[in-house]
Amino acid sequence: MCLAIPAKIESLEGEKATIDLAGARATAMTSLTPQAKIGDWVLVHAGYAITILNEKDARETFAIFREMEGLTK
């Protein structure tokens, strides 16, 4: 199964973004989303920001993840 995770862009250096993944920092390439800017929410899959989304959608996705986690306990 493939899964894309919402993350917020904290900084950009060329096509390399530092992102916040629910409190964890990571890097992602923005070559697929060249219009992405600092402060944007993006879906990240395999180290690439694959689309830009709004904060509401990002937070709803996190809520769904929390619900799914509760089902496995």
Architecture label for domain 5-71: Roll (2.30)
What's the average model confidence in pLDDT over 5-23?
Answer: 96
Task: For 18-73, write each residue's pLDDT tens digit.
Answer: 999 889 999 999 999 999 999 999 999 999 999 999 999 999 998 998 888 777 66
The residue assigned the tokens 């390439």 is: 29
- The domain segmentation of the chain, as residue ranges, is 5-71
Q: What is the pLDDT of residue 41?
A: 98
Residue 47 · residue 28 · CB < 8 Å: yes
Structure tokens at 53: 């989304």
Residue 65 · residue 47 · CB < 8 Å: no
DSSP 5-57: EEEEEEEEETTEEEEEETTEEEEEE-TT-TT--TT-EEEEETTEEEEEE-HHH
